[in-house]
Structures are given as structure tokens and as C-alpha cells.
Amino acid sequence: MDTSEQVVAKRVRRRQRRSIEEKLKIVEKTLEPGASVAEVAREHGVNANQLFTWRRKYRQGQMVKVSPNLLPVRVVTGQEERARSNQAQGQPLGQIHIELAKVNLLITGRVDVDALRVVLEKLVG
């Protein structure tokens, strides 16, 4: 009877965390003429499905490098007509909608710039 133990070596793959800069470089390689997403994914050790997700976020403007003192901004067009209509009806003229990871802030009407600055500084940290 053999009582020796067998040790089976198992490769453990650890999740690799990539910075926004790395993700952007990889995604931009896939957008070059003639580039293959599968080849770029293999070249960088990324699952092709993950790379397609990054590309979708990139195209939707959700993958941006954020400076510590700046916030990403997205301008939504088509709001001018609604603002003019609201103003004609005596409703507030403007609207600011801020979405952060855990915060959704909607400000309508005239905005006190100093108060907004304080709120943003507290949110960003």
C-alpha cells in the first residue's frame, strides 16, 4: 500500500488591476485601422470580452482619466429649447446634474457658485 502524498501544483491566476491609463492605451490600440480586438487582448493578457466592455465604456465617455482637482464633465445637447420653454413658464432656467460613485445631485435654477464649490470640494474629498 502506497502512503505517500502527491502534491498537485495548481497555477493560481491573480486578478490584475489596470490603471485607467493602461486601459485607455489598450482600448485605443483596438480602434486603430485593421486592429483585431482578439489579438490586442491576447497581446496584453486581457479577456476579449473585458476589452469589449472597456471599448463600450470608452465610447460612452465613461472611461476617462480624472485629475485629482478636476471632475469629468459631459455636456448634454438639446437642453436649450427646454430651458427656454421653462423660462417662459416661469420655471428655473438652468439645471446641473452631478453623478458620482455614491452621489446623485440635481440642482435647478440659479446656482450660488460659492455654495456649489463647497459641495463639490466635500464630495471629491
64: in domain: no
102: in domain: yes
Structurally, the chain folds into a number of domains equal to 2
> How many C-beta neighbours within 10 Å does residue 107 have?
16
C-alpha distances in Å from residue 12, one per residue of 6, 15, 17, 27, 44: 18, 10, 15, 26, 18
97 bridge partner residues: 106
1: in domain: no
93: in domain: yes
Q: What is the pLDDT along the chain (125 residues), one digit of tens a residue?
A: 556 666 666 666 677 888 888 999 999 999 999 999 999 999 999 999 999 999 998 888 787 776 666 666 666 666 556 656 655 666 556 677 777 667 777 777 777 777 777 777 777 66
2: in domain: no
120: in domain: yes
Nearest-CA neighbor of 72 among 87, 57, 82? Answer: 57
Q: Which residues span the domain enclosing 86?
A: 79-124
